Amino acid sequence: MSVFPEKEVALVRELAKKYKEIAFSDKQLRANKRFFDSNDLKIVRPPVLIDEIPWYQIDVDGSLTCLCENPHTKSIEFYLRLFIFRNKYLNKVDMLIPPYFPVYLPISSTGMGINFVEKEERLTDNENRIKSHSYEDVMADESVLLQIHDPVLTAHFDAAQANFDICKEILGDTLDVKIIKYSLFGWSPWDRLARLRGIEACMMDMYDRPEYLHRILEKFVSAANAEIDFLEKNDLLEPVLTSLHCTPAYISGLEDHGLKSQWIRAASQSFGIVSPEMFKEFELDYLKPIAERFAYTYYGCCEPLDNKIQHLKSIKNLRKIGVSPWANVEVCAEQIGKDYVCARKPNPANVAIKTEPEHIRKEIEETVKLSFKYGCPLEFVLKDISTVSHRLENLTVWAETVSNVLDEYYDKA
């Protein structure tokens, strides 16, 4: 006899049936093919995704409100509700939806022996996870290098299996359950250094103490390689991914296990103000040997890369380049050409307060025309959405406007 409330199990299974219908629908299967085609450098209708959404601001009809009370059934319920909600209200754009319920293998780490100390935190909305932070410089003294060490990782298979068994009992045969191993390796040491030191100290030391920064980065490289070696040795890399942090991961040419079965995602968001030469010295030269251990590299997040792409091209397995709202899109598109995917990130400010369709149309149409001009495979990902001012229509209008623009230039989705 199940230990889970019968009504809650029945509710979750009904949601799982709806989820499965969406995941295996003709519309989703067509989208999945376009995800493959785009990453395979074919010119197709661009994937369009909306991610990093402030869900608590848009529950207009209560369909994101969980009814289950048991923590296990409630967790599954909320996951399923998010996708069903997307399909109902944001169906003018694409969706990354696994054809199963994922159970993630817990992998713990000892860390590197150093932790950040937050000095101040500011927020405008108590429910919003987007906050402003300032940090103490815990690495001002170079002697701190002595306490930094490679992390030791531990995979918790028993915990994963126990969670799998729980989810399987709750979902029954309505939806497959799959244990997902390590799903994405990310390289972003400057994001971490910003929390360990603060941005200003990092920027100043590029000029005042460059040798110290190099020693720090050598430690980060050693730590990254230790993690990768562990994952590779223990066959802990998940080979078939749906999502690559808000972007499609589907691509041809992946091996069925090991490092060549995965992408690496890399970024240096605080380097928007750093020269191309310093970008190469303090970021790229350290990244390249790590990135090239994997099958493909996706580089870029919020930082503008228009003056750094010439250096990024030296990464042998580079496949996708982020083009942020602060980048010069034409300069990027000209350099990206037909050799990489132009991962365009529209400005989330356009959905922050009130959505103006003409602003959206102009931004999207400009990028589409440039992609044709320079032969770029293209995708759009609206992300980093800190607020929509509790207006779901901001997202639905954005989605409809983008879809209408693409209908004018490509086959229907």
Residue ranges per domain, the chain? Answer: 6-409
CB 81 within 8 A of CB 61: no
Half-sphere exposure of 286 (CA within 13 A, CB side): 25
Residue 375 has pLDDT above 80, yes or no: yes
What is the C-alpha to C-alpha distance for residues 64 and 81, in angstroms, rounded to an integer?
Answer: 6
CB 65 within 8 A of CB 85: no
CB 398 within 8 A of CB 92: no
What is the C-alpha to C-alpha distance for residues 70 and 74, in angstroms, rounded to an integer?
Answer: 6
Q: What is the pLDDT of residue 119?
A: 80
Helices 71-89 and 6-23: crossing angle in degrees, nearest 10, is 30
Q: What is the mean pLDDT of residues 193-209?
A: 94
Residue 120 has pLDDT above 90, yes or no: no
In terms of residues, how long is the chain? 413
Is the four-CA dihedral 165, 170, 173, 179 of positive or negative sign?
negative
Q: What is the pLDDT of residue 240?
A: 80
pLDDT band per the 50, 70, 90 thresholds, residue 1: low
Helix residue ranges per DSSP H, 292-384: 309-312, 329-336, 357-374
Instruction: Say yes or no: domain 6-409 is CATH 3.40.50.620.
Output: no
CB 403 within 8 A of CB 366: no
Does the pTM surpass 0.85? The reply is yes
Helix, strand, coil distribution of the chain in percent, nearest 5: 45, 15, 40
Question: 295: which residues sit within 8 A by CB, 6+ positions away?
Answer: 253, 254, 255, 259, 260, 261, 262, 263, 317
Residue 231 has pLDDT above 80, yes or no: yes
Dump pLDDT digits (tens) for 319-332: 999 999 999 999 99
pLDDT band per the 50, 70, 90 thresholds, residue 132: confident
